[in-house]
A and B are shown apart, each in its own frame.
Chain A
Amino acid sequence: MLAGLDVGGTFTDAALVDGKSGRCIAWVKAPTRTGAVLPGILESLERLLRESRADARTVKRLTVSSTLGLNALLTGNTRPVGVLALPGPGIDPALFWPRDPLFRVLPGAQDHRGRVTAAPDPKAVGAALESLKKLGAKALAIVCKFSPKNPELEKSLAAEARKIFGADTPIVLGFETSGSLNFPRRLHTAWCNAALCAVSRDFHRDLEKASRDLGLTCPIHILKADAGSFSATEALRDPASTMGSGPAAGLLGILAMARPSGTDSPLFGAADKYMIDMGGTSTDIALLAAGQPLLAREGLTVSGRPTLIRTLWTRSIALGGDSALRCKNGEVSIGPDRSGPALSLDPEQKDAPFSRPATLTDALNVLDIARVGDTHLSRHAFMRMIDDPACPPAVKNGQADPEDQSRALARLFLAGALRRIKEKTSEILEEINSQPVYTIRELLVDKKLEPECAMFIGAPAGALRAELEKALVLPVVAPEESPFANALGAALARPTKAAELYADTLLGRMTIPDFRVEKNIGSDYRLEDAGRDMSRAFAEAFRDEEPGQAQTVFAESFAVLDPSGRRGRILRIRSQYAAGLVLKGEG
């Protein structure tokens, strides 16, 4: 059995799931307390075990999706972070870093191969550290440009920092946050990790203790924004990655819910598909590429800070069940503003004239596609709209019955809404498929994303499924709404990891920053050796898991000629465990 916990803003949901079938055995909902997530977690876990009468020892893993980190950042409940930045040549960091008295730019630089081109100035480092300490920094982020290729400078500064700040102050190095190249994002990511160290440590300590008290003996995992999980130990080192896991839990939940029992429908295999989530105000579109959630190219942005945290790729349109409907000069418009709940659901709107526009849900009521609330109110609102001189004249063509005219108008609104979704999906495909490529081979063998179906969720999804299917000209599945989808998704999350390897045979150095691996290499180090080192790093880090083979995203080898005429190779590999459900036959 697997347990999943989703800490939302209002409720903390817990689910107990059969690890083989993916079936939900039990679920509970408990209120989330403001300011403290742990009580809600304890309450829901305790009730889950009690109500299911499950033996706590049979739970194989507990996976938690929590807003703790995000809330801590948003509310400023974090430790003050001192930053040492070594930008070297390039864009002035003052341009991308917010005004911050704890931010220090220092001399010392590494170049694009990770070679130290300017040594740090020990005096300047010492002075910066002393002043940060005096100003109350309780955690440090130390980030040098190109540190994924060589952590040397960051490490030397960390050693200096230890002398001044002592052993207990969290010090996050840029090298440890990600192997991706992006200095501003690495700075922000390291800052987030440093800021969250303390709050995350307390949370994990309490969570660990509480789950043991409840008799749980299983490993505890935390859900990440990339729709995968990692162990609580890793979460302690990289707390920032746990932010933004809510949408990821939702996506996994839908995948789990939509699994038809015992069928081999192409909808649930490796096909590319859209995930369309229509809420009240907006419709969010995510993508599964070859069955795996598509991730943003760079990373999550948290309270204005662009980071390297891997996260789902999503796009939104301001269109939902509550979008305001209006007629203007014989044309219909939908949104972008929200009118509020459907008029049919609004007790204030009993007495016409209505104080605000009808909504998309009202239009669905008029068309008998939905039956939400007092549908009479929706009809009434449309009767008024067809009398408006701004109403499209086509609505009245050849039909005298005001009910027919209302339906014709509602049909126009619905068509407009569906067209917006259709247009957005085309735009999304264009955007994704026009990503840059860097080799002749990629340019010639151009693999494009081609969704074969769509999963459609949210309140209006059931009612609109058939209509959306017609508009997209694709099969559309609308899994039933479930109060425990997110907790289910968390329970079924697989561990994920992405790692980059850099090797430079002329410099004799190989690094895999994501696993904090560094080693010296000989001139005969080849791509096969690098591949083996990468596999080994994955295997060692995931000893207790059974995630299977890591996928290689790219493996490149460049012949390099030093200005002095020495020949060598630069190797780059990116590998990953991609997100998906722990169930067999998924992803």
Chain B
Amino acid sequence: MSDSQPADAKSGALKAAHSLGLVIFPAFDWAISPTHPEREERLLYTQDQLREEGLFDIPGISEHRPDMADMADISRVHFCPPGFERIVEAPHLASAGSAISAGRLVLAGGCDKSFALTRPPGHHAMKVVQGGRGFCAVNIEAIMLERLRGEFGVRRVAIVDTDCHHGDGSQDVYWHDPDTLYISLHQDGRTLYPGSGFPNELGGPLARGATINIPLPPRTGDEGFLYATEEIVRPILDAWKPDLVINSAGQDNHFSDPITDMRLSARGYAEMVRCINPDVAVLEGGYSIQGALPYVNLAVILALAGMDFSRVVEPAWRDDLAATSTECMDYIRRLRDSTLTTFERPGNAASGHRFENGWFVRERDIYYDTDGIHEQQNERLRACENCPGLLLIRTRTHYSDWSVCIHIPRSACPDCASAGEERKREAERKREPWEFSDQRRDIYLRG
């Protein structure tokens, strides 16, 4: 609600070049634990900063209430052998719902762009959810995207993840999806959680090249990030031509972030966002809640709205932080050449899968750091020439026995679909716990 004379109240020179809808959901009454980095006060200062800037008086910038996501939204993306009711709480539904609301603002709400400033984050949540990983329970961008696909028929979508941590969850959800380009810029996995996201991770055997990883060395600053964005991300987006671009906007590359080691500034973030030019941005990490978030979020909002952000200078900024070392820049230049080459010709570079009787197979161990759970996975993808392929994931943890997750993708061919149906019947016959997801018909069952 604005005031009684909305037209007059908005001052003249101040105007958003792109109309921007904001969904701000700080979840002031929820935390993982009182001292956890992902706690109540995380968006408090951001909210105060945005209010104090008079942001919502700017013509073209509007604030919107989030919808709650429901279990159908979650099960469109995830398998959850322990049962969603044991993992998913109201805050996760609210956070995913905020992302959905943001997406709808762009596709049906008359906004050019939108940004969901919400918590808790989601990009470490994988296709199978056995517990919490990296402060995430469910993947809020994927939940938004699958809802938008169902509602608006969006097909080719790029997710550009600018969180400092590799978005291994988002990568996993879309690993076998040739219609979703996942690009992650992050601090090198050899130096930071979750320890993945290397250039040779390029997507599953039937979606090669739809996953792009750009690991950057510790202490990369504005120059390095901008180079990587302009010289790697931009050309790939231009070539791939997505219908929709989503930014997983993690603000923890900031020089003041306590749990990472990068040197990006608020203005650097804003310039990066201007270059990526996303339609929808969704907040991910960022734990320098006083020194970074108010400024980075403000600068990113101004960049999304097409406004000047040059005066958003953090109190702790020092000019000597600006430089990115020569070695670092040399490394990023080499990374550009190799990344662009592999993107153009993903070829037969190893995908980590072995081929077995018409199936691509991989075995994985996944650790859920929030809950201390070890998961063992056996993943089988039907080597199909006509579609992304039926996906079968057998999973167990030290708490639970094997169960099978059957995933029929949105664009599955009839053969893959009937093979999936058959696998479900087999599980029922053998009394094996199963979950079944048929994206074509939007049907999600478990037994």
Contacts and interface: CB of A to CB of B under 8 A. Distances in A.
Interface in B276-324: 288, 290-291, 294-295, 298, 302, 307-308, 310-315
A112 B294 contact: yes
Interface string B1-27: 111110011111110000000011111
Given A96-B54, A556-B28, A436 B90 contact: no
B397 interface: no
B39 A306 contact: no
B3 A443 contact: no
Contacts of A300: 3-4
A262 interface: no
B235 interface: no
Contacts of A146: 48, 52
Nearest to B37: A561
A442 to B, nearest CB: 9
B15 to A, nearest CB: 9
A541 interface: no
Given A145-B52, A313-B4, 18 more contacts: A89-B312, A89-B314, A90-B49, A91-B14, A91-B55, A98-B11, A112-B290, A180-B51, A182-B57, A183-B54, A184-B11, A311-B4, A439-B29, A558-B40, A559-B40, A561-B35, A563-B290, A570-B41
Interface string B209-240: 00000000000000000000000000000000
Contacts of B31: 559
Contacts, number: 166
A80 interface: no
B50 to A, nearest CB: 9
A400 interface: no
26 contacts: A89-B313, A89-B315, A92-B311, A96-B14, A111-B294, A112-B49, A112-B52, A117-B315, A182-B54, A184-B11, A185-B54, A299-B3, A301-B9, A311-B3, A312-B4, A313-B3, A313-B4, A434-B64, A435-B1, A436-B23, A436-B66, A559-B34, A561-B35, A561-B39, A567-B35, A570-B41
Interface in A47-106: 87-92, 94-96, 98
Contacts of B39: 559, 561
Contacts of A306: 3, 8-11, 54, 57
B315 A118 contact: yes
B24 A436 contact: yes
A300 B66 CA distance: 27
Contacts of B12: 98
Contact of A185 (B40, B57, B68, B314): B57
A441 interface: yes
Contacts of B314: 89
A439 B310 CA distance: 32
A299 B8 CA distance: 12
Interface string B33-77: 011000111001101110111111100000111101000000000
Interface in A426-480: 431-432, 434-441, 443-444
A181 interface: yes
Contacts of B64: 434, 436
Contacts of B44: 558, 570
A296 B294 contact: no
Contacts of A111: 290, 294, 315
Given A301-B8, A558-B28, A182 B13 contact: no
B301 to A, nearest CB: 10
A91 B311 contact: yes
A300 B23 CA distance: 25
A90 B53 contact: yes
Interface residues of B, number: 62
A314 interface: yes
A300 B8 CA distance: 10
Q: Which 3 residue pairs across A and B have the least CB separation, nearest first?
A: A117-B315, A296-B3, A184-B54
Contacts of A434: 64-65
* B contacts with A: majority SS: loop
A95 B13 contact: yes
B30 interface: yes
Interface string A535-578: 00000000000000000000010111101000100100000000
Given A117-B315, A183-B54, A440 B91 contact: yes
Nearest to A298: B3
Interface string A105-116: 000010111000
Contacts of B65: 434-437
A443 B30 CA distance: 13
A88 B8 CA distance: 26
Contacts of A92: 308, 310-311
A185 B57 CA distance: 9
Nearest to A149: B48
Contacts of B4: 296, 300-301, 311-315
Interface string A344-355: 000000000000
B258 interface: yes
Contacts of A356: none
Interface in B379-408: none
Contacts of A96: 11, 13-14, 54
A556 B43 CA distance: 14
A567 B51 CA distance: 25
A300 B57 CA distance: 12
B94 interface: yes
Contacts of B25: 436, 438, 443
A313 to B, nearest CB: 6
Interface in A176-227: 180-185
Q: Which of A94, A98, A436 has most B Cβ within 10 Å?
A: A436
A200 B298 CA distance: 39
A91 B302 contact: yes
B33 to A, nearest CB: 10
A504 B63 CA distance: 27
Given A112-B52, A146-B52, A439 B63 contact: no
Nearest to A567: B35
Q: Which of A439, A441, A563 has most B Cβ within 10 Å?
A: A439
A561 B294 CA distance: 16
A182 B49 CA distance: 9
A304 interface: yes
A147 to B, nearest CB: 10
B57 to A, nearest CB: 6
Contacts of B63: 436
A33 interface: no
A507 B5 CA distance: 38
A229 to B, nearest CB: 20
A297 interface: yes
Q: Which of A184, A432, A570 has most B Cβ within 10 Å?
A: A184
Nearest to B3: A296
A113 B290 contact: yes
A563 B254 CA distance: 15
A94 to B, nearest CB: 8
Contacts of B49: 90, 112
A145 B11 CA distance: 18
Contacts of A444: 90
Interface string A135-176: 000000000011000000000000000000000000000000
Contact of A441 (B10, B29, B258): B29
A567 to B, nearest CB: 8
Contacts of B68: 443
A438 B311 CA distance: 28
Contacts of A182: 51-52, 54, 57
Contacts of A183: 52-54
Given A90-B312, A91-B302, A181-B48, A440 B5 contact: no
Nearest to A433: B65
Contacts of A431: 1
A470 to B, nearest CB: 28
Interface string A396-435: 0000000000000000000000000000000000011011
A438 B28 contact: yes
Nearest to B90: A440
A225 B91 CA distance: 39
